[in-house]
Amino acid sequence: MSTVSAGFRLVRAGWVLVREGVVAALPGEELSGLPKFGWRLARLFTRRRALAYERSDRLAKAVVRLGPSYVKLGQFLATRPDVVGNDMALDLAMLQDKMHTFPTAEAVAAIEASLGRKLGDLYKQFGDPVAAASIAQVHAAETVDGGVARKVAVKVIRPGVRRRFFQDLESYFLAARLQEKYIRSSRRLRPVEVTETLAQTTRIEMDLRLEAAALSELGQSTREDPGFRVPSVDWERTGRDVLTMEWVDGVKMNDLAGLEAAGHDLKAIAANLIQSFLRHTLRDGFFHADMHPGNLFVEANGTIVAVDLGIAGRLGKKERRFLAEILYGFITRDYLRVAEVHFEAGYVPRQHNVSAFAQAIRAIGEPIHGQPAETISMAKLLTLLFEVTELFDMATRPELILLQKTMVVVEGVARTLDPAFNMWRTAEPVVSGWIAGNLGPRGLLTDARDGGKAMLALIRQAPELAARTERLSREIDLMAEHGLRFDEATARAIGKAEARYSRSGRVALWVIALTLVYIAWKLL
């Protein structure tokens, strides 16, 4: 029944996207066969007034009808320009969480239930909501500690949002499984793994204690950084459903007129934003992964303050090295090194030729270097990379999805501040500085120290490893002598699982097909 209900929700979502003209806005002229027929059919069922709207407005209206989880889905699809097209990906990347507010009384009930204290004991004043997003809304409030009054922002979870998200996630997983099973060419995109990444980040985002911890961690790692900070957390007034933090006085980064009126240098802010993001990513391996302009404020002294850290990204040391070398290779036009890094990272299967892949990378990099600064786009680079890597069987890397999404969004914000923004020239000091410090002599010393620690840990585990090796050797000898056998219960369980999976897929497809037929019949 879970699969059937997920199928119904999936059909409803598809119908809303059709009626609001979102499907009609996709690049369908390049399709063929059944997909193109479906695209043409979608155009017939699009509301007439929807055709008059811009594509971004169609998306916004569809998201309002579908609910909060589809905002997150749209932001994730922004990293897949090879699927939705580059123009649609740019619209999705700038999609912001703007939802209707919920009553203050419900927010008060959530705060008191989460913290176990009355509102009057926590806050001297508690105002109406000042902003609302897909998962939570924010209230202005005032606290008094030690006789000192302080203005704070109070973020409160939206009632019922967890149940709604988990229901919609069932639909996403159903769509991903059907896509992997029936669309062979999509398997390299790993739709199920991508959906799992979305599910995990959403679960984390809906526990405001984890957002508070992320704010604390990012605040600690950036306390010496010039021109960037995050608000401090009031831990006494923070729980699973409520987060109290410092109130930020500044101009939102999507208010260009306000920034100019305040006398800010927009080009300097754009450069600071990109360099701060790259510094966090490469140096710390921990970055704000939802840096749309609604989450960024500029204080009077030009400092950027990032709020809403519900989604954070992490990269290991190895992934950071690969990222830095790939970016630096494009900056210095060392395409052979870019290709070698892809192979070293395991991004491209070994059966392909490194020089041939370097040639394909050159076909991407050279045109970008030959263009004016205002046309050199990270989103365009990622689109070209997706096209080339498909030829070389490169699979989607789930650990890089948040990074790709955030790079596109941050560059888009920088370009609204400075239309002639040059991503590569701005990134070069941070990237080259990181490479000099981590891949040069100092980096070798650090790697040697880390290697020594790993070797010491391995020596300490030597007795246990020897015992495991001995047990494994005995098991292999028994398998060689008697063969690998399943007991009857295991074989029966595997058969039932396979039958259930196939049956669920068929039921879901029939539900979707019958629902579409019913909708078409009602309209005709």
Contact 244, 153 (CB under 8 A): yes
Torsion region of 146: left, alpha or beta (phi above 0 gives left; psi -120 to 50 gives alpha): left
Catalytic positions are: 290
With a CB cutoff of 8 Å and minimum separation 6, the contacts of 348 are 339, 342, 357, 389, 392, 393, 394
Q: Own/partner pairs for 443-447, CB < 8 Å, 24+ apart?
A: none
Q: Record the tokens describing residue 459, joined without a space.
A: 């020596």
Amino acid (one-letter) located at 176 = A
Q: How distant, in Å, are the alpha carbons of 93, 223, 285, 391 from that of 189?
A: 19, 38, 24, 13
Residue 214 and residue 385: Cα distance in Å, rounded?
A: 31
CA–CA distance, 401 with 274 (Å, rounded to integer): 18
Q: Is 437 exposed, middle or buried (0-12, 13-18, 19+ CB in 10 A)?
A: middle
Give the pair of three-digit tokens for residue 224: 């010496």
Angle at 116 (CA atoms; ends 114, 120), nearest 5 degrees: 105
**CA of 251: how far to CAs of 41, 99, 292, 312, in Å?**
45, 21, 14, 23
Per-residue pLDDT of the chain (524 residues; tens, 9 = 90+): 467 777 778 788 888 888 887 777 776 666 667 767 777 887 888 887 777 677 667 777 787 778 777 777 776 666 555 555 566 666 665 565 567 889 999 999 999 999 999 999 999 999 999 988 878 899 999 999 888 999 999 999 999 888 888 888 888 888 888 877 777 766 766 778 778 877 877 788 889 999 999 999 999 999 999 899 999 999 999 999 999 999 999 999 989 999 999 999 999 999 999 999 989 988 999 999 888 888 899 999 999 999 988 888 888 888 888 878 877 787 788 889 888 888 887 778 888 888 988 898 888 778 766 666 556 666 666 666 666 666 777 766 656 667 777 887 888 888 889 988 888 788 888 888 887 777 655 544 555 555 566 566 656 666 776 777 777 777 776 666 666 555 566 556 666 655 555 555 555 555 555 555 555 555 45
